[in-house]
Structures are given as C-alpha cells and as structure tokens.
A = this chain, B = another copy of it.
C-alpha cells in the first residue's frame, strides 16, 4: 500500500481543540456500543455506509464533496487502485456513539504520478446540542513530480458557521523557487478564486492556530471563515452552492490539468530532496493533527487502531 497520510484534517486542529467535545473515555464502564444515544439504532447501518454518502451534512455540502471526489476519480480513472483500508478504518466511531468518521484512500498505480487520494468525514455531536462536521479531500503526488498537492477541507461547527481550507499546497520552498511560484500560482491566477470568496460580506480570513499549517499552504490558499446571522442559517448553504463549489471546481481542475496529469522532469537529487520534504510534512501532520485530536474524539483504543494504520501508510 502506498503512503496515505490524513493530511487534510490537520487544518481542523484549532477547531477540535477549542470546541467543547464530548469525552470519549475508554473506561470499561462505557463499553456499551450501540446502546447509549438516540443515534444508536442507526449505527449498524452507518458502519456499512460509504464515505461518499456524507450522511451528516447538508445537501449542498454533500454535493460539493461528491462532485469533487467524482471529478478526481473520473479523471484519474484506472490509474487509481481500489480502497484497501481495513473496514474498521474505513468507518469508525467512539464508544458513546457521539463521534463517527469515515476514511477513504485510493493509491495511484505504479505508472501514476498520484501517490494517493484521501477523503474523510468526521461527525461529532456537541454537548451544546449541535454537531461538528468536517469533510475533506486531499490528493498527494509522488516525488517523481514536484507539482503541488490538492486539499479541501470544509468544517461546520454550527448551522451559521463554516471554515473552508482550499489550496494546492506547494512542495518546494517558494522563496527559493520563484519560477515554481510563477508556474503554479501566478500564471494559474488562483488568487482570483480567493478574491471571489473574499468579496462576500460573510467571509473573513481564517488563521489556523498552528503556525506550521500556515507555513504549509500556498500564498493563494483560501483559508476563510464564514459566519451568518442565526436568522439566515440557509445562507451558508447558498454560499456553498453558489460560491464555494465553483471556486473549488476551478481549483481542482487546475490541479488535475497542471499537477496530476502533467509531466515534470526531475533529477534524482531533486526527487530525493522532495521525498525528504514530503516526509517532514507527513511526520508533522501526524504530530499536529491526529495525535492530539483523534484520542479526544474517538477514545484511545479507536485512535490507536486508526493511527496505527495511518502511521504505516505515512512511512510507506
């Protein structure tokens, strides 16, 4: 199996550490799966649910994610291998049934420049009565090309708030490589997509609490938070459908055309440097994001299982 990091979720660190999440204690007295909430009756069905059903999010949010996953899969076609994650990593939940998640990974075949694509969703009931929903899709390229990766993450912590991370994270130091900046960011005019969202009155720049995450994204990255009045809860879904979806489509098409499906000739030394840099990113990703948030969300036992699989994938 190729490397399969859960890159995208690292962006949610600040959310996960700030929200009053329910405890996911691994105390044996809580080992009562499928028995302790109004959600329990549907859990066995949920465990069979597919990643692509995005069962907990609004229709525009689901359509956004399904559209992006379909676009990637249709374009990359048979160069992607089937998802081979263990079933209990493809879907998992915490002991109290308050947190659910799905992972979906397809590696590129040996002749593909794609290392893997990784999709995820996390749903978590909040003590306040609402729910946190995070959906993501990321795509990683192999060190045979230096082209940027792809990343989208949509975080909803209430009906009136949304955080969007959308970027082609660079794989080289842009300061030292202005030609790379020019080719992938200036000439693609990706910043115009950021400006389209910035112009909406509900949209504000979002600063991740992790400086490493801020350093990792490109200078045209879209990192925004969107807040609407409680009386206008449907407005966020309008924004997803009318504004975020077209911007995400343009960004993904740019990635597919210019990064995933274009050749970049590298020397062995360049590939080795890239592989080393990619490796640092993967290790930091596990440290920053998953090792802190997964035990809190899913309990140590489930977190160990999922992280164990992901660590092997990261180091593959």
A214 to chain B: which residues have CB within 8 Å?
219
Asked if A175 CB lies within 8 Å of chain B CBs, one says: yes
Among B178, B219, B280, point to the contact of A176 (Cβ < 8 A).
B280
Known: A211-B220, A215-B219. A277 touches B175 (CB 8 A): yes
A205 to chain B: which residues have CB within 8 Å?
205
Tell me, in angstroms, the Cα distance from A218 to B212 when the chains sit together: 10
A219 to chain B: which residues have CB within 8 Å?
211-212, 214-215
A207 to chain B: which residues have CB within 8 Å?
198
Tell me, in angstroms, the Cα distance from A178 to B212 when the chains sit together: 7
Question: Which chain B residue lies CB-closest to A198?
Answer: B207
Tell me, in angstroms, the Cα distance from A219 to B173 when the chains sit together: 14
CB-contacts of A174-188 with B (<8 A): 174-176, 178, 181, 185-186
Q: Is B212 within 8 A of A277, CB to CB?
A: no
CB-contacts of A191-205 with B (<8 A): 191, 198, 205
Tell me, in angstroms, the Cα distance from A289 to B44 when the chains sit together: 61
A173 to chain B: which residues have CB within 8 Å?
173, 175-176, 277
Asked if A281 CB lies within 8 Å of chain B CBs, one says: yes
Q: Is B175 within 8 A of A215, CB to CB?
A: yes
Among B178, B186, B212, point to the contact of A280 (Cβ < 8 A).
B178
Asked if A284 CB lies within 8 Å of chain B CBs, one says: yes
Q: 1/0 per position for A200-243, CB-CB distance to B under 8 A? A: 00000101000110111011100000000000000000000000
List, sorted by A's number, 25 A–B pairs whose CB atoms are closer than 8 Å: A173-B175, A174-B211, A174-B212, A174-B215, A175-B212, A175-B215, A175-B216, A175-B277, A175-B280, A175-B281, A176-B276, A176-B277, A176-B280, A178-B212, A178-B284, A181-B211, A181-B212, A191-B211, A198-B207, A205-B205, A211-B220, A212-B219, A214-B219, A215-B218, A215-B219
